[in-house]
Structure 1
Amino acid sequence: MPLAKLAQARFGTLSSVRPDGRPHAVPIVFVIVAGKLVTAIDHKPKTTSRLVRLANIDANPNVSILVSNQDEAWDQLWWVRADGTAEIQGEPEPDWIKALIAKYPQYRGRPPGGPWIVVSISHLADWSYT
């Protein structure tokens, strides 16, 4: 059940570790393909091309991704956290692009160019109010 909730979530937060040990968290869109979480650096504006998340993963591949359902009705609250090891890949697998376009139609005209972050999930934790 946690993997299904993770896969269905529209947005998540990728947390990585800076070289000095401080956490770094950024919002992401993602898909689950063949049991791995895949996200890409896309064309949306960035302040720099030297993204902290990529440098962090190069130095320490341990990451967490958090997805949640926030609601004023507390009986609807839930979250799922995926912990794992990330790797950066320059070229995508065709299935990654297809899955991203299927989940996020905004990519139809302009799929992400990468680099790609691929997370091998080692642990799932979840919670729900009900």
Structure 2
Amino acid sequence: MRLGPVEARAHFEGQPVARLATADETGRPHAVPITFALDRNVLYFAVDHKPKSTQNLRRLRNIRTNPRVSVLVDHYSADWTALWWARADGQAEVWTDPRRCRTPVSLLRAKYPQYADRSPEGPVVAVEVSEWSGWAFSR
């Protein structure tokens, strides 16, 4: 059954990980898992201290070129009556100003104990969600 915006957002909010889908200027897709925090209709994620070869990440380059993104969470179960997914579509913006990043980083720290000793230090991405959608086998 299709989930309405309120239901889709509610399914989304409690999840620990999502998949971010971006596309470059030619439309070439790119999907990666992210940790995230929500504040009303804005979804935040940040480049953190997990090992990466660079902070010039493809997801950030794609957002700077094409800010339209989708973020997906889902639940799989061998019991297919428990299946669901929820998606947030919107416009993303990369933030580098430490003052502007303060609140999103605080939200991420509150959600993830892994950030207690070391906050995300890289850019923050803010996604202004324009559409919440989803599906569940049953409600």
TM-score class, shorter? over 0.9
2:103 counterpart (95, 110, 128)? 95
Structure-2 residue corresponding to 1:83: 89
Distance 2:39 2:72 in 1: 17
With CA pairs under 8 Å and 6+ residues apart, which has the higher RCO, 1 or 2?
2
Unaligned residue ranges in structure 1 (runs of 5+) = none
1:2 partnered with 2:8: yes
Distance 2:103 2:110 in 1: 10
Q: Is the 8 A contact 2:46 2:105 kept in 1?
A: no
Structure-1 residue corresponding to 2:72: 66
Shift of 1:34: 3.3
* TM score, norm. by length of structure 1: 0.94
Shift of 1:95: 2.8
Secondary structure in 2 aligned to 1:118? strand
* CA deviations over 1:90-128 (Å, ceiling 9, x no partner): 134433222212211000000101200000001111000
* TM score, norm. by length of structure 2: 0.88
* CA deviations over 1:35-69 (Å, ceiling 9, x no partner): 20000000101122221011101111000000001
Structure-2 residue corresponding to 1:25: 31
Q: Is the 8 A contact 2:55 2:122 kept in 1?
A: no
Q: Is the 8 A contact 2:101 2:124 kept in 1?
A: no
Shift of 1:70: 1.2
- Runs of 4+ with deviation above 4 angstroms: none
Structure-2 residue corresponding to 1:44: 50
Q: Is the 8 A contact 2:95 2:101 kept in 1?
A: no
**Structure 1 stretch 87-96 or stretch 24-33: which is displaced more?**
87-96
